[in-house]
Amino acid sequence: MTVRLTGPGGATAPPAALPGDFLRLLLAWFSSLTGDGLRMVALPLLAAWVSPTPGAVAAVAAFTSLPWLLVAVPAGALVDRMSAVVAIRVAHVVRALCTLGLVVAVETGWYGIPVLCAFGFVLTAAETFADGAAQTMIVRIVPQAQLEKANTRFAVVETVALDLVGPLVAGVTFVVAGWIPFALSAAAFAVAAVVVGRIRAGRTTAEDRVLSSLQRAAALPTAVPTAPPTDPPTNLPTDLPVGLPTGPRHRRAAPVRGPLTGEIREGLRRLFADPVLRTLVITVAVLAAAVAAQDGVLVLYATEDLGLSPELYPTLLVAMSVGILVTAPFVGRWADRFGQGPLMVTAIVATGSGIVLMGLLPHPVTGWACYLLIGASGVTWNVLSATRRQRRTPVEMAARVSSAFRVVAFGAAPVGNVLGGVIGHLWGVQAVFLVAGGAMLVTAACAGRSFFRPLPPSDSVHG
């Protein structure tokens, strides 16, 4: 819902600007996603170069998404116990070093499908820490009334970086030399680590000492000194968890933390006890598996079925980006007018229909048009589903619930990758698109009634 502020005489005041720390988080998000966009195109191209078979390409995709199933939940519980700034920064440093290692492997010729699988796994494992910490920072930094606005900004930045800048640069540089997109990806992760160090929200003096040690070890520039906030954010919960800003009015003893396994169970219990979150995560799990199935063979579909060259393969993602950028500014307005639930169901139907059409009519024009539609419907779903999850999650459990959500939802991605590889091997790549799109349409039919119902009350409070 859009909140209007009125001044004297009933005049409408301009909407409040998003906090400066959110803009720094957004810049770091852009840089890291640019690195992911480079890897997202270059890694399957490299896998197809090594072994141009659906099974090999799908195996790399499956190992790349596997950490969401194995690592995400414990990563979220650990992030809730530590500084989100430190978690994001360490994760990006690890990702930069890992990607530089692949650059060396490609240059020396010491790589193959197993090496690419291992690289994808480690890179995503580090990403689970950064992603959970970013979700925590959003709900701590951004007032609840501005979550839709913040999530829209995130969606736009994700589109520009992950689906536009990164893929286009990767497609052009890969044909020059296979190692170049990975070197640029490593640089992007390093920049993200530097920018995150400038975020002040959730920082304590002890955490600054940790960051100083990290900066000396990684040879990164030192962030500016910490100053306690004079006016703490208004969206903080009453019981401040460890890592939130502390001042004369807010300083209190750190809560006693239970065993890590207990906190993991608590996050999963919260996710499945709330009927709204439960329906949302099950729906996302099916959608994630369907998307992963067709994404795992997309490079083969583009280069073989559509006849696109490696340089033109990223244009499918560019078409999707255009759909996202055109649609994103209107999502909040449409949700207010038509309702969040009905709009989410419409987005599922549109995405599934576009994927089915690609399977039926494999032509470059059809591919670009369908990816334009998929981008528009995808950003609608992503913004509204993220906002719904954030508003129903207590801030002190944000990382745990977010990671539990991802382990159930995106843990289905490796299953989708494997199924896509099997279906592509048995019946061809086009069949993968028909099955994936059909699964989305069935999901919309089954879950539609739940999304049309009014939301039950939630005990989640963000202030």
Q: What's the CA gap between 78 and 84, in Å, rounded?
A: 10
User: Side chain identity at 253, as an amino acid letter?
Assistant: A
Give the model's confidence band at 133: pLDDT under 50 very low, under 70 low, under 90 confident, else very high. confident
CB proximity list for 137: less than 8 A, separation 6 or greater? 21, 25, 84, 85, 88, 199, 201, 202
How far apart, in whole angstroms, are the C-alpha atoms of residue 83 and residue 202? Answer: 7
Q: What is the mean pLDDT of the chain?
A: 78
Q: Tokens 């800003």 sit at which residue?
A: 245
Q: Would you give the DSSP letter of residue 15?
A: P
For domain 17-226+263-452, the CATH class is mainly alpha
* Domain chopping of the chain, boundaries: 17-226+263-452
Main-chain phi, psi angles of 13, to 5 degrees: -85, 155
Judged by average pLDDT, the poorest of 57-61, 95-99, 346-350, 406-410 is: 406-410
Helices vs strands, H then E, count in the chain: 20, 2
Q: How does residue 263 score in pLDDT terms, banded at 50, 70 and 90? A: low
Say whether 305 sits in a helix, a strand or coil.
helix
Phi then psi dihedrals of residue 289, to 5 deg = -65, -40
CA–CA separation, 162 vs 98, rounded Å? 19
Tokens for 106, please give them. Answer: 């490609």
Q: What pLDDT is stored for residue 198 in this prediction?
A: 84
The structure tokens 């977010």 sit at 402
Name the pLDDT band for 92 (thresholds 50, 70, 90).
very high
Can you tell me the mean pLDDT for 391-402? 71
The per-residue pLDDT for range 95-124, each reduced to its tens digit, is 999 999 999 998 888 888 999 999 999 999
Rounded CA-CA distance 309/288 in Å is 27
Q: What is the Cα–Cα distance from 183 to 42, expressed in whole angstroms?
A: 11
* Mean pLDDT score, 374-390: 87
Instruction: Look up the pTM and report it.
Output: 0.62
